[in-house]
Amino acid sequence: SRESHSSNLMKRSFAMALLMLAFAALSHAVATAAVGSLETRSAVTPVQKVIELMEGMLAKGKAEKHDEQVQFAAYKQFCD
């Protein structure tokens, strides 16, 4: 139904906004913590790993959203 689809979109939008906020906060933390020796810069820190994982989650979420939109458009066309 339209209401459940709308509700799902709102939930996903909120989750994406929360994810972007967390990503921005972590990016800021990494930028301010980047002052250090070359040795610590060359190694992947736990914060950088989290950022990489979050970027992967964001890309996956965008791909899933696109796939869902394509599927919904096909379904809507079928219903019309």
* Cα–Cα distance for residue pair 34/17, rounded to 1 Å: 25
Global pTM value? 0.46
Please say whether the beta carbons of 76 and 9 come within 8 A. Answer: no
* Cα–Cα distance for residue pair 53/32, rounded to 1 Å: 20
In tens, the pLDDT along 18-37 reads 777 777 776 666 666 655 54
Predicted pLDDT at 63: 97
In tens, the pLDDT along 55-76 reads 999 999 999 999 999 999 999 9
Instruction: Give the DSSP letter string of 6-32.
Output: HHHHHHHHHHHHHHHHHHHHHHHHHHH
